[in-house]
Structure 1
Amino acid sequence: MTTARGVHPAAAPAVPLATLLVIAKEPRPGRVKTRLTPPYSPHEAAALAEAALADTLHTAAATPAAHRVLVLDGSPGPWLPPGIEVVRQCGGGLDARLAAAFAHRPGPALLIGMDTPQVTPELLDVDFTGCDAWFGPAADGGFWALGLADPGPAEALLRGVPMSTPETGAVQRERLRAAGLRVRELPCLRDVDTAADAAEVAALAPTGRFARRLAACGPGVRS
């Protein structure tokens, strides 16, 4: 399209990612990845969670964003790379904790968890030009990413969404659309919840910390 004088109109300015948020638990035995036990021991499950978190945070560090923030339940450890700010998670259910995570920084933000170590910087480098939200569905019916151009309404958009159910993603997506937001979708990814998930995700990122840790764990203990 051109103007009457044959000059191309100026393109809309890009709206880059201001803040990349990672919400996570400190990887301690008995507190994380409990669905991996069995076949893995609680210590093996925690080691796998630590590897997944480290992969995720190193990907976050390599993603263009003005701020990178880990919203953590627990204390940071040697798995934390440089350049990541750490803030404490609030209490309450997961819906409340996700909503509160968006309050840490103004401007366009993308929130992810620690369960998709196969994620890449290219997937996370979202542009909000022409949209109000990004939504990343998960293969189990949940979601692995949620981006908001304006984090202000996060409380209303997330509070009350039933978490950890096969309908979580569908309900959250409908919340966004019912609010009149223009939503773009990221690719569907598989969360690491079970041993089968772990094997599939490791195969997708065979050189990552998670895949190496899984190989070191072997087949796990017998149930």
Structure 2
Amino acid sequence: MRRGTVIVFVKAPVAGRVKTRLGAEIGYGRAAALFRVLTQRTIAESLKGEWDAMLAVDPPGAVHITARFWPAHMPRMAQGPGDLGARMARAFEKAPPGPAVIIGADAPGLRARHLRGAFRALNGADAVFGPAEDGGYWLVGLNRRRSSPDLFNGVRWSTKHALADTLKTLPASFDAAMLETLRDVDEAADMKSLSLFSSA
């Protein structure tokens, strides 16, 4: 099978622009600090495998940022306009040939072994998902041997329906594999359950 690509979706960690739902509860500065930590962890895991890793960044001007948490050597692309579905579809189109997976930076439990599992699944499946406890997903991957023109159309993002809606956009003939369910961090309760910060 051709060498795979991991695409890490990241945002410039500006207070008030990242993790806004969480920021409304704990403060936008603190939420941005958490996002920086999660981004560093996620990128570190994405660089531990036998695949290529790249960043898809937002806003577009952030492509030129070379902060400590965005390694300067990692290739990057702009996510571009549109909702999350439009941006992910664009990333799949721009990725090098071969299987590709997209991950966000808000699932602290994500490890390189999950990425290896995703690529193994794509040896036989057309698509692979890493379900999140809230009904969304922390990973989506395609082997890209066949097209999926309606992928992500009409998905209700940031709701408990996101994964189910996305599965409905796949061609009927597609085989979709599932990885283990992880928890992502969107609200203060998620932080407490994962012990990411003390309660102070």
Aligned CA distance change for structure 1 residues 152 and 68 (closer, same or farther; 3 Å): farther
The offset of 1:170, in angstroms, is: 0.8
2:80 aligned partner: 90
1:111 aligned partner: 102
2:188 aligned partner: 195
Distance 2:31 2:178 in 1: 30
Aligned CA distance change for structure 1 residues 107 and 83 (closer, same or farther; 3 Å): same
Distance 1:142 1:170 in 2: 8
1:122 aligned partner: 113
The offset of 1:175, in angstroms, is: 2.5
Distance 2:124 2:141 in 1: 13
| SS at 1:197 equivalent | helix
1:132 aligned partner: 126
Q: If the length of structure 1 is used for normalisation, what is the TM-score?
A: 0.78
1:70 matched to 2:61: no
1:162 aligned partner: 156
Aligned CA distance change for structure 1 residues 28 and 189 (closer, same or farther; 3 Å): same
Distance 1:151 1:30 in 2: 39
| SS at 2:31 equivalent | helix
Gaps of 5+ in 1: 1-14, 203-210
User: Does structure 1 retain, via aligned residues, the 8 Å contact 2:23–2:29?
Assistant: no
User: Does structure 2 retain, via aligned residues, the 8 Å contact 1:68–1:83?
Assistant: no
Aligned CA distance change for structure 1 residues 17 and 133 (closer, same or farther; 3 Å): farther
1:184 matched to 2:177: yes
- Encode CA deviations 1:7-62: one digit per residue, 9 max, x unaligned: xxxxxxxx365110111211110001112234422111100011111111111011
The offset of 1:189, in angstroms, is: 1.0
- Encode CA deviations 1:122-162: one digit per residue, 9 max, x unaligned: 00112222211111111111111111000763552123222
| SS at 1:180 equivalent | coil
Distance 1:54 1:138 in 2: 20
The offset of 1:191, in angstroms, is: 1.2
- Equivalent in 120, 128, 150 of residue 144 of structure 2: 150
Moved over 6 A (4+): none
Letter paired with 1:108: P
Distance 1:173 1:18 in 2: 22
Distance 2:145 2:93 in 1: 7
Q: If the length of structure 2 is used for normalisation, what is the TM-score?
A: 0.87
- Encode CA deviations 1:88-146: one digit per residue, 9 max, x unaligned: 11101111011111112221001111111220000011222221111111111111111
Distance 1:59 1:181 in 2: 28
Structure 1 residues 72-81 or 105-114, which shifts more?
72-81
**Taking every aligned residue pair, what percent have the same amino acid on both sides?**
35
Gaps of 5+ in 2: none
Alignment of 1:3-42 (within 5 A): 15=1, 18-42=4-28
User: Does structure 2 retain, via aligned residues, the 8 Å contact 1:102–1:151?
Assistant: no
Distance 1:109 1:53 in 2: 19
Aligned CA distance change for structure 1 residues 151 and 36 (closer, same or farther; 3 Å): farther
Q: Which protein is bigger by CA-based radius of gyration? A: 1
